Amino acid sequence: MEMRMAENRVDPLPPDAPELARRGPHPAGVRTVSLQGAAGRGMVVELWYPAVAGAPAGGTHDTMLRDGATRIVLRGAACRDAPPAPGEWPLVILSHGYPGNRHLMAHLGEALAGHGFLAASPDHPGSTYADHGAFGETLLHRMDDVRAVADGLGAGRFAIIGYSMGGVWRAGGRGRGDRPRRNCASRCA
């Protein structure tokens, strides 16, 4: 079953939204990349980033509902595959809950990119709406998956925002290293 809604948006803003919730000064770009996750598992990652000036607003995310079967299309402000803006941008990893998927915090990824951050949101294998298995499996690999995203994007320092199970990083993991921010062009390509 496929569900398509004309206004299934990830980017609505109420008129009284706080200043930091409003769109930032950068247009947002988004692309899907593949990285090697924990234990050699492939990981699909959605990467939002500041895009070049003039990048058109509007893009879609093909995803599914929590039932793991119903396909939907989310619409947002980020331009799919827009060229990245030059510069050094800090990395924020968005870790979804159990189950979840990389689009769960698309609204936040777009907002962070608009404010000058790279936002990487992986599909944690064995923990998505489509493939969730034993809870212990995701506990075993979650922190290593987050590290693999940071390493795959060349970031020594990063922040993490976790939703529900995605917050396990806070309990048992931590960032490491003090390498400087990396150029977006090398990570967004």
- The pLDDT tens digits of the residues spanning 11-35 come to 777 888 888 777 889 999 999 999 9
Task: Answer yes or no: is 123 within a domain.
Answer: yes
**pLDDT, position 181:** 41
- In a domain? residue 44: yes
Residue 148 lies in a domain: yes
* CA 111 to chain centroid: 11
pLDDT value of position 45: 96
Which domain CATH number covers 137? 3.40.50.1820
Q: Tell me, what's the pLDDT at 78? A: 93
What distance in Å separates the CA atoms of residue 34 and residue 74, rounded to the nearest whole number? 20
The pLDDT profile of the chain, 189 residues, written as one tens digit per residue, is 444 445 677 777 788 888 877 788 999 999 999 998 777 888 999 999 999 999 988 888 788 777 878 888 888 899 999 999 999 899 999 988 788 888 888 889 999 999 999 999 998 888 877 887 777 777 777 788 888 999 999 998 898 887 776 666 555 554 443 333 444 444 454
Any domain includes 23: no
Q: How far apart are CA 95 and CA 97, in angstroms?
A: 7
Domain ranges, residue 183:
28-188
Tokens 């936040």 belong to residue = 108
Q: Tell whether 19 is covered by a domain.
A: no
Encoding tokens for residue 156? 């020594």
38 lies in some domain: yes
**pLDDT score recorded for residue 169:** 56
Please tell me the predicted confidence (pLDDT) of residue 168: 64
Q: How far apart are CA 42 and CA 152, in angstroms?
A: 12
Both structure tokens of 24: 């930032």
61 occurs within a structural domain: yes
CB 142 within 8 A of CB 117: no
pLDDT of residue 126: 83
Answer yes or no: is 34 within a domain: yes
Give the pair of three-digit tokens for residue 121: 């949101």
**Number of structural domains, the chain?**
1
- Strand blocks (E) in the chain: 28-36, 42-50, 59-64, 71-76, 79-80, 91-95, 118-122, 159-162
Maximal C-alpha separation, the chain: 47
CA distances from 159 to 2, 15, 17, 63, 163 (A): 35, 29, 24, 25, 14
What number of CA atoms fall less than 13 Å from residue 6's CA on the CB side? 0
